[in-house]
C-alpha cells in the first residue's frame, strides 16, 4: 500500500547523492575553473528525465489525494506542485547553462555557481519538507483505494541512472558517482 512511498524515499536518497556530487563539482569549478560537463550536464539531464517525469508527477497525484481527504492539512503542506514546477525550470536552466559553456558561449562563472547553489538549496529544503510532513500525512490519510488509484494514474517507471536497466547516456558518469560515494563512505 505504501510501496509508492518506499520508492519515493529511495529516489530521495539517490537525489541526495547526486546533490553531493554536484556540490563537489561546483566547488571545483568555483575554485579551479574545472568543469566536468558530462557529470554536471548529466545530473541536470537526469532531473529532467526521471524526477521531472516520474517522481514529481507521482507526488503530485498523492498530494491531490490528500487534498481530497484533508484539504486543510494539504494546504498546510504548502504548494508542493509549484515547487515541482520550479525544480523542473531550474533543472532546465542548469542543463542549458552547461550546454552553453560546452559550446564555448561566454557564460560568467558565477552564473553557473549561483544557479547550481539555488538549485541545491531548493532541492534539499524540498526533500526535507516532504519527508518530515508530506509522506507521514500521506501515510495517515490515504486509503488503500487512493494508493491503488495513484498507481494507476502514474505507472512505475525505471530509473535511468540508478535503476536495473540504466540508460547508456547516463552510463559514462554513473561509475564516477558510485566511486565518489564509496570514497565518501570510506571517509
Which residues sit at the interface with Fe ion, rule CB under 5 A?
Answer: 59, 130
Tell me whether residue 83 or residue 146 sits nearer to Fe ion (CB atom). Answer: 83
Q: How far apart are CA 35 and CA 73, in angstroms?
A: 43
Cell numbers 528525465: residue: 49
In the complex, what is the shortest distance from the CB of residue 125 to Fe ion, in angstroms, rounded to a whole number? 11
Q: How far apart are CA 121 and CA 152, in angstroms?
A: 32
In the complex, what is the shortest distance from the CB of residue 51 to Fe ion, in angstroms, rounded to a whole number? 7
Q: How far apart are CA 75 and CA 63, in angstroms?
A: 10
Tell me whether residue 59 or residue 146 sits nearer to Fe ion (CB atom). Answer: 59
| Angle formed by the axes of helices 3-32 and 56-69, nearest 10° | 130
Cell digits of residue 54: 516520474
Q: How far apart are CA 71 and CA 109, in angstroms?
A: 44
Tell me whether residue 3 or residue 34 sits nearer to Fe ion (CB atom). Answer: 3
In the complex, what is the shortest distance from the CB of residue 122 to Fe ion, in angstroms, rounded to a whole number? 10
DSSP labels for 116-137?
HHHHHHHHHHHHHHIIIIIHHH
Tell me whether residue 29 or residue 54 sits nearer to Fe ion (CB atom). Answer: 54
Tell me whether residue 101 or residue 146 sits nearer to Fe ion (CB atom). Answer: 146
In the complex, what is the shortest distance from the CB of residue 128 to Fe ion, in angstroms, rounded to a whole number? 10
In the complex, what is the shortest distance from the CB of residue 76 to Fe ion, in angstroms, rounded to a whole number? 16
Amino acid at each position: 500500500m505504501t510501496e509508492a512511498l518506499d520508492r519515493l524515499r529511495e529516489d530521495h536518497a539517490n537525489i541526495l547523492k547526486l546533490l553531493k556530487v554536484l556540490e563537489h563539482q561546483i566547488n571545483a569549478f568555483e575554485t579551479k575553473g574545472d568543469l566536468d560537463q558530462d557529470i554536471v550536464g548529466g545530473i541536470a539531464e537526469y532531473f529532467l528525465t526521471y524526477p521531472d517525469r516520474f517522481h514529481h508527477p507521482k507526488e503530485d497525484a498523492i498530494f491531490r489525494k490528500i487534498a481530497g481527504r484533508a484539504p486543510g492539512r494539504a494546504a498546510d503542506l504548502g504548494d508542493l506542485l509549484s515547487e515541482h514546477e520550479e525544480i523542473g525550470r531550474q533543472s532546465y536552466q542548469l542543463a542549458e547553462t552547461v550546454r552553453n559553456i560546452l559550446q564555448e558561449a561566454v557564460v560568467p562563472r558565477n552564473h553557473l555557481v549561483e544557479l547550481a547553489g539555488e538549485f541545491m538549496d531548493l532541492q534539499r529544503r524540498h526533500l526535507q519538507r516532504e519527508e518530515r510532513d508530506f509522506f507521514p500525512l500521506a501515510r495517515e490519510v490515504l486509503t488503500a483505494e487512493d494508493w491503488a488509484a495513484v498507481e494507476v494514474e502514474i505507472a512505475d517507471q525505471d530509473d535511468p541512472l540508478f535503476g536495473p536497466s540504466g540508460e547508456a547516456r547516463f552510463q559514462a558518469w554513473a561509475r564516477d558517482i558510485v566511486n565518489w560515494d564509496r570514497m565518501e563512505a570510506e571517509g
